[in-house]
Amino acid sequence: MTWDETAIKDRVRAFLDGHDPERMERLEFLRARFDAGLAWVHFPEGLGGLGAPRELQGVVERELSGTPQLDVGRQLIGLGMAAPTILAFGTEEQKRRFLRPLWTGEEIWCQLFSEPGAGSDLATLATRAVRDGDEWVVDGQKVWTSSAHHARWAILVARTDPDVPKHRGLTYFVCDMTAPGVDVRPLRQITGEAEFNEVFLTGVRLPDTLRLGAVGEGWRVATTTLMNERVAIGGGSAPRRGSGAIGIVADAWRARPELRTHDLHQRLLRLWVEAEVTRLAGVRLSQQLAAGQPGPEGSGVKLAFARINQALTGLEVELLREEGLEYDDWTFRRSESVDFLGRGSGYRYLRAKGNSIEGGTSEILRNIIAERVLGLPAEPRVDKDVPWKDLPR
């Protein structure tokens, strides 16, 4: 079938005729929406989609406005990173097992990538996975793992061959976070919360059926995850003109004329333009995704998002003066999700500091843009062909 806006609207109306959101439980409604192909319309039929163009997802969201929705803050890693990777590299059995409960939020996902000695250079990671018959035994430590404290599953990259160069000895797995040997410990951040963790893996046994992609192809699979991660963080930050952080600052400007100055006005105008350019770049990137996997352009959108978000939260604090500095929620607690726009200016200012670190540091993203987008000479890499076991650590 050829899908266009009219056909999608007809499909949504037919779905609502048979599924009244006022009478159905939230989870029941979301499951039915997935089964109707209205979760990700560009995914294949039977996997939450219709095989339709990606841009028609916006039509679905508008037509289903006011019905039960996803908790995107809680499900971001699953929706934005795990799902596209499973779709690209998973077996049919893996796709049918994981995608539905991932989308409905029945199973939360986290990302076991970064390590204490492998952050910006992820390929140097040391977590080992050793084959034992039909299982893999995993030992190592991961860090900065958001949502690990309530995750059911994780996407995991581990080293399976230390005798080859660092990028070639990695394998990608789905990790059962309830398996014996998985130890999740909180990391307190600048806001006082613990939305991320360190995770210790000690003798964790994973069946080979939880491997994504071929043995030794983990870097190629992980690259798909990382490119989608940068689009998820930067590309969807402001879906409408004047939304997101720029909308909050603009609303404060309109509501508090007594706090305005000429300097703040000029900075707000410049940031409005930059925020709109970044938003439109994100929209364009999302449209390009309909043709295939995201490329290095996602790094540019994520880099711009981090810089603008930090500038806007700083401007908001300056505009509100003493009121903007107020932040009294220092109680240590486990965070369920990131509610960036729903919290106060003090929280936003502190939380935005992490935007230039999470999902790839701004320094590394600049390297990616320079080499893979602008075509500039690459930095010298003396360890490129050295077996991982021989690298200094």
Q: What is the pLDDT of residues 245-269, one digit of tens each?
A: 999 999 999 999 998 999 999 999 9
- The fourth-level CATH superfamily of domain 109-218 is Butyryl-CoA Dehydrogenase, subunit A, domain 2 (2.40.110.10)
Angstrom distance (rounded) from CA 317 to CA 90: 45
Task: List every span in the chain annotated with CATH 2.40.110.10.
Answer: 109-218
Q: Which residues pair with residue 146 across a beta bridge?
A: 196
pLDDT above 60 for 238:
no
Q: How far is Cα 38 from Cα 322, in angstroms, rounded to an integer? A: 46
Does the pLDDT of residue 237 top 70, yes or no?
no
Least confident of 11-20, 192-201, 360-369: 360-369
CA–CA separation, 220 and 212 (whole Å): 11
> Which residue is associated with the tokens 């409005």?
272
Whether 229 is a known active-site residue: answer yes
Cβ pair 104, 25 in contact under 8 A: no
pLDDT score at 388: 93
For residue 130, give the H/E element and its range: strand 128-132
Mean of per-residue pLDDT scores for the chain: 90
User: Which of 63, 115, 229, 297 is labelled catalytic?
Assistant: 229
Q: Are 310 and 350 in contact (CB under 8 A)?
A: no
CA–CA dist 343, 366 (Å, integer): 30
- Between CA 125 and CA 226, with CA 164 as vertex, the angle to 5 degrees is 40
Q: Is the pLDDT of residue 232 over 80?
A: no
Torsion of CA 87, 92, 98, 99, to 10 degrees: 50
**Between 215 and 280, residue with greater pLDDT:** 215
- The neighbour count for residue 288, using CB atoms within 10 Å, is 15
> Which pLDDT score is estimated for 17?
96
pLDDT tier, 320 (very low <50, low <70, confident <90, very high otherwise): very high
Q: How high is the pLDDT of residue 239?
A: 63
- At residue 330, the pLDDT reads 67
Q: State yes or no: pLDDT of 347 exceeds 80.
A: yes
31 pLDDT exceeds 90? yes
Return the amino acid letter for 326.
E
Structure tokens at 275: 């925020």
The pLDDT confidence band at residue 119, using thresholds 50, 70 and 90, is confident
Whole-angstrom Cα Rg for the chain: 22
> Which stretch of DSSP H or E encloses residue 99?
helix 92-104
pLDDT of residue 148: 94
d(CA 285, CA 289): 6
Asked if pLDDT for residue 270 goes beyond 90, the answer is: yes
pLDDT in the model for residue 286: 66
Give yes or no for residue 235 having a pLDDT over 70: no
CATH class of 236-373: mainly alpha
What pLDDT was estimated at residue 143?
96
Highest mean pLDDT among 52-56, 176-180, 230-234: 176-180
Is the pLDDT at 127 greater than 90? The verdict is: yes
Q: What is the dihedral of CA 280, 294, 128, 203, to 10 degrees?
A: 70
pLDDT given for residue 339 in this prediction: 74
The structure's pTM equals 0.86
